[in-house]
Chain A
């Protein structure tokens, strides 16, 4: 079953698209995503992948192109990052309304200004409300497999899906992985059977003017489809295990059975968190880890079941300014509906790609254990400041005059 390769996360994503037999690919270069589509472009050029590759002039167009191709009945793929994903935003909504099961890989990247190419989850998580399915990969294997898994579900519910991976930490880091056998993937992922194909024999209008009497019902269908996607993700994740040897689910618990304090994380930082948990266990601290794999549809049941009654530190490499880290926000909301009282502490860290080391996680553990009351947002690693909330009383300092540069 498959072959073992050593690939970067980006190239693994390329293989995910290739194994899925994407038929139309369109993308725009952006660091750190670029190598995904470079490899796909080579695959198309060499004939290794029977697809059309459209070299567009913007991410907005890349998304539009794959929506159009999907609407016409092809399986489509694109990849982007940070600013590119933000530029796509309008069309992300369009993909949902048009019910086109496009799959996208987003390499998470901090938003400008100032320019940064390093990892941060805010670009990805700010697409929370567009109506896409959203998965977060931790490993190179997942960077590949989640693409296939996503198509499997997306094409059943006719909703698009995006897979995130961290800039550089995963995208440019080589790890061994199994590149699956094509026949096995084909067996798992049948050809795309579209809802419609823009067939001139059936001259219909798609996505035209809908008045207030009808808009809600049609959107409601998409909301229902997302609910169904939650169940299908679980089923398809299990079947992935049966068919291709890796079992996936919407959450990934670690040492949770008797855990008293639990870290919640997503993406590549989870590897360090997992190691920190084992160190804490060695110290006799009953620590556990809940990795969020699916962000949309959100795994309410699993989160509530696994976290209720425990002391939870949510590690957010992102921030919804004026509120909390986005994962913390979501976890609290999941626990607000009938769960036993649970203390949720929001930690924001690693913004702009700053390393989240094992030591960082241990510092958070110490802080967590020192606190008695849940805190909304605690910033970790801001120079000169201890772990703690943002200062609400700080005066804004004006720019000092530009200093003369001596010759």
Chain B
């Protein structure tokens, strides 16, 4: 085995994820990095379905399903009870981008500001996929969705949820993607062993929503990292930035966009594409500068 991935599964086969579901894979990997003493909280999102219809479910940790905007606070409440009972169970909120960037942001901000002792994972597929591909504030510029049709594609940059979370000065916030499993697992393990609010932002491909073949899901997520569209990094205490993966072979963002049908409007608009390229460059430069602040010695890579 070339990966430092535990063989142990905390999910049973048989789930209702679509073929090639990045969200299903993200869950599988994250649970590998946590302990058996874990409770998951799932608000409305694809995973409300993926876990399976009553009376069965796929996950091998308790799952408390909750309302769309309540992942962080439901986890907080459960953790409070566990602590009151003298138990140190890990409570993980597991929400999509809609439940995190949009409707759940208030409760998430509240929990983060209070530094509640929870792990909050956002598996981000960059739109409301469960309801059939509507734009969220995580949807990137130039993207087609059913509510940003070709004639009027998404015009605003993806909300930078990491900066928002870092601004709460929580102990740990990190981006990850299952395309880089060792990086993801390492971050899960760091999060597991810290206390306070820990936030993992996991880019998770959605083949139907990204308009690509399911077999390309991993390749797309990998290209997102290698094109610096979705850099892998972590932020400690809201300030100390470490880039955890320096792309070895930079992929042209256009190649990343071209893998997915949802970016067709962007690819058809050279001016918008140029703006997006500048944005990607600027964001990366900003990130690198923050990394250098924290790591005065130039890092390898």
Q: Does B associate with A?
A: yes
Contact B38 A200 (CB under 8 A): yes
Contact B65 A208 (CB under 8 A): yes
Q: What band does the interface of chain B fall in when counting residues whose beta carbon is under 8 Å from A?
A: 35 or more
A344 interfacial contact with B, CB 8 Å: no
Contact B49 A23 (CB under 8 A): no
B114 interfacial contact with A, CB 8 Å: yes
Q: Which of A52, A57, A68, A90 contacts B41 (CB 8 A)?
A: A68
A284 interfacial contact with B, CB 8 Å: no
Contact A57 B110 (CB under 8 A): yes
In chain A, what residue has the closest Cβ to B72? A61
A66 interfacial contact with B, CB 8 Å: yes
Contact A57 B76 (CB under 8 A): no
Q: Closest CB of chain B to A314's CB: distance in Å?
A: 35
Q: Which of A162-170, A209-217, A348-356 contacts B (4 or more CB under 8 A)?
A: A209-217
Contact B66 A64 (CB under 8 A): yes
In chain B, what residue has the closest Cβ to A61? B73
Known pairs A198-B39, A208-B48, A211-B53; A203 contacts B78 (CB<8 A): no
Contact A200 B37 (CB under 8 A): yes
Contact B114 A198 (CB under 8 A): no
Q: Map CB proximity to B onto A188-228 as digits: 1 under 8 Å, 0 otherwise.
A: 00000000001110111111111100100010000000000
A211 to B89, CA, bound (A): 31
Q: Map CB proximity to B onto A98-117 as digits: 1 under 8 Å, 0 otherwise.
A: 10000000000000000000
Interfacial chain A residues near B65, Cβ < 8 Å: 205-208
Q: Which of B62, B81, B107, B114 contacts A206 (CB 8 A)?
A: B62
Known pairs A56-B73, A65-B80, A71-B78; A202 contacts B62 (CB<8 A): yes
Q: Which of B10, B49, B74, B84 contacts A74 (CB 8 A)?
A: B84
Which residues of A from 41 to 74 have beta carbons under 8 Å from B? 51-52, 54-58, 60-61, 64-74
Known pairs A64-B67, A69-B80, A200-B61; A208 contacts B51 (CB<8 A): yes
Interfacial chain B residues near A119, Cβ < 8 Å: none
Contact A68 B84 (CB under 8 A): no
Contact B62 A58 (CB under 8 A): no
A24 interfacial contact with B, CB 8 Å: yes
Contact B54 A210 (CB under 8 A): yes
Known pairs A55-B114, A206-B63, A209-B54; A60 contacts B78 (CB<8 A): no
A71 to B109, CA, bound (A): 23
B215 interfacial contact with A, CB 8 Å: no
Q: Which of B54, B57, B60 contacts A211 (CB 8 A)?
A: B54
In chain B, what residue has the closest Cβ to A24? B80
Q: Closest CB of chain A to B111's CB: distance in Å?
A: 8
In chain B, what residue has the closest Cβ to A97? B65
A91 interfacial contact with B, CB 8 Å: yes
Contact A205 B73 (CB under 8 A): no
Q: Closest CB of chain A to B74's CB: distance in Å?
A: 4
A26 interfacial contact with B, CB 8 Å: yes
A337 to B69, CA, bound (A): 42
Contact B81 A24 (CB under 8 A): yes
Known pairs A24-B84, A65-B73, A71-B78; A207 contacts B64 (CB<8 A): yes
A254 interfacial contact with B, CB 8 Å: no
Contact A60 B48 (CB under 8 A): no
Contact B55 A65 (CB under 8 A): no
Q: Closest CB of chain B to A141's CB: distance in Å?
A: 29
Q: Closest CB of chain B to A253's CB: distance in Å?
A: 40
Interfacial chain A residues near B160, Cβ < 8 Å: none
A94 interfacial contact with B, CB 8 Å: yes
Contact A64 B81 (CB under 8 A): no
A70 to B64, CA, bound (A): 12
Contact B84 A71 (CB under 8 A): no
Known pairs A58-B106, A65-B74; A204 contacts B57 (CB<8 A): yes
A interface residues, Cβ below 8 angstroms from B: 23-24, 26, 51-52, 54-58, 60-61, 64-74, 76, 90-91, 94, 98, 198-200, 202-211, 214, 218
- Could you jot down 20 A-B contacts, CB within 8 Å? A26-B77, A26-B80, A51-B84, A54-B76, A56-B107, A57-B113, A65-B76, A71-B81, A72-B85, A74-B81, A74-B84, A94-B66, A200-B61, A200-B89, A203-B61, A205-B63, A208-B51, A208-B57, A209-B51, A214-B55
The 9 closest A-B pairs by CB, nearest first: A68-B77, A57-B110, A72-B81, A65-B77, A205-B57, A69-B81, A61-B73, A74-B81, A64-B70
B interface residues, Cβ below 8 angstroms from A: 10, 36-39, 41, 48-49, 51-55, 57, 59-67, 69-70, 73-78, 80-85, 89, 106-107, 109-110, 113-114
